[in-house]
């Protein structure tokens, strides 16, 4: 089977076994409680495995300024989602309705609001850290519903998905040590669930020709690693987690300082919740009640 055929078969099975209900837009699914129970179990297991019990949940939208300030519109504008609303008067509403009735484009009647969707869990965190960090920096556990404009027939590539992240902000040394300390533990975390992950050097999907330079730079400096698992026979493995080092990028943009007055560095570890659960379904089958006892116990909640 080609990768595209495998993707279609997997999606059909997810629908047939009542995990997903498609929503007439690629990469957008309603999830049933059968799927959500696995997500809840995974969330609990993340808390147990990381020891980070307090989770900060950001809403799925955030101030648009964060997208602008963080450089997201320079590096990955094709993935961004902005919130637009109708802010016109009665007359423009009449015109809008005419366009609608004709089935024509009505976007000219919308205005950009001060909100955007969150493209990853950690973006909304940085502006809340502006100023001087406490001694020892910060380690935060986040949960956010993310949006990325990457419509795809692949059920593992969604436009709306959830991410848990641990974010470490401190001196370069401490951030790197923290990331290093997770390389083996993160692999163990996935192995405990019966997955067979591999750690690979990776880069973000930066836009255009300039983006290729950024991606090469990211790889050369080993700023991004992904934990990947085989979900489809054909083509590359699927990234289910990532371990990133941002150097002083966010520290500079959002004026975050260590206690010594230096610009803070940051790093994050992202868990793709839907992707991990999909990898588990692919590995252990479509009946979670028949999964290996150890996995069921780890995911009990």
Contact region for ligand AMP (CB under 6 A) — 17-25, 68-76, 109-117, 153-161? 153-161
Choice between 6 and 52, CB closer to Zn ion: 52
Parallel, antiparallel or unpaired: strands 256-257 and 131-132: parallel
Q: Which residue is nearest to ligand AMP (CB)?
A: 272
Separation of alpha carbons 117 and 47, rounded Å: 25
Q: Are 161 and 145 in contact (CB under 8 A)?
A: yes
Residue 242 CB-half CA count within 13 A: 21
274 binds ligand AMP (CB under 6 A): yes
118 binds Zn ion (CB under 5 A): no
Q: Are 281 and 226 in contact (CB under 8 A)?
A: no
Residue 122's binding partner among ligand AMP, Zn ion, none (Cβ under 5 to 8 angstroms by kind) is Zn ion
Residue 272's binding partner among Zn ion, ligand AMP, none (Cβ under 5 to 8 angstroms by kind) is ligand AMP
Helices and strands (H, E) in the chain, number of each type: 10, 14
Residue 161's binding partner among ligand AMP, Zn ion, none (Cβ under 5 to 8 angstroms by kind) is ligand AMP
> How many residues interact with ligand AMP (rule CB under 6 A)?
16
Choice between 239 and 281, CB closer to ligand AMP: 239
Q: Are 161 and 31 in contact (CB under 8 A)?
A: no
Choice between 171 and 278, CB closer to ligand AMP: 278
232 binds ligand AMP (CB under 6 A): no
Distances 179 to 81, 209, 242, 253 between C-alpha atoms, Å: 29, 29, 10, 21
In the shown chain, the binding pattern of residues 252 to 291 toward Zn ion, with x for contact by CB under 5 A and - for none, equals ----------------x-----------------------
240 binds ligand AMP (CB under 6 A): yes
- Interacting residues of 293 by C-beta distance below 8 A, sequence separation 6+: none
Q: Are 138 and 170 in contact (CB under 8 A)?
A: yes
Contact region for Zn ion (CB under 5 A) — 24-32, 117-125, 188-196, 275-283? 117-125
A 10 A CB-CB count for 208 gives 11
Contact region for ligand AMP (CB under 6 A) — 47-55, 81-89, 213-221, 272-280? 272-280
| Residue among 46, 67, 122, 193 that touches Zn ion (CB under 5 A) | 122
For residue 226, the minimal CB distance to ligand AMP (Å) is 6
Separation of alpha carbons 235 and 242, rounded Å: 19
- Where does this chain bind Zn ion (CB under 5 A)? 120, 122, 268
């Amino acid at each position: 089977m080609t990768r595209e055929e495998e993707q279609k078969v997997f999606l059909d099975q997810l629908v047939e076994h009542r995990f997903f209900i498609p929503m007439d837009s690629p990469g957008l699914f309603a999830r049933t409680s059968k799927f959500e129970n696995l997500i809840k179990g995974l969330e609990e297991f993340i808390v147990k495995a990381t020891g980070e019990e307090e989770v900060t949940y950001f809403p799925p939208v955030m101030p648009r300024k964060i997208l602008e300030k963080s450089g997201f519109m320079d590096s990955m504008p094709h993935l961004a989602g902005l919130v637009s609303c109708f802010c016109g008067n009665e007359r423009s509403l009449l015109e809008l309705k005419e366009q609608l009735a004709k089935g024509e484009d009505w976007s000219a009647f919308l205005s950009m609001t001060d909100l955007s969707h969150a493209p990853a869990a950690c973006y909304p965190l940085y502006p809340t850290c502006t100023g001087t960090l406490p001694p020892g920096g910060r380690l935060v556990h986040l949960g956010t519903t993310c949006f990325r404009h990457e419509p795809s027939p692949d059920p593992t590539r969604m436009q709306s998905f959830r991410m848990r992240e641990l974010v470490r902000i401190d001196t370069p040394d401490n951030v790197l040590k923290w990331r290093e300390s997770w390389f083996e533990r993160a692999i163990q975390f996935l192995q405990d669930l019966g997955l067979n992950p591999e750690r690979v050097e990776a880069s973000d999907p930066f836009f255009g020709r300039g983006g290729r330079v950024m991606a090469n730079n990211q790889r050369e400096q080993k700023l991004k690693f992904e934990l990947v698992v085989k979900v489809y026979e054909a083509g590359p493995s699927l990234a289910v987690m990532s371990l990133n080092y941002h150097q002083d990028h966010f520290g500079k943009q959002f004026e975050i300082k260590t206690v010594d007055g230096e610009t803070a560095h940051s790093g994050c570890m992202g868990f793709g919740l839907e992707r991990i659960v999909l990898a588990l379904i692919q590995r252990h089958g479509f009946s979670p009640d028949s999964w290996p006892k150890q996995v069921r116990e780890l995911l009990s909640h």
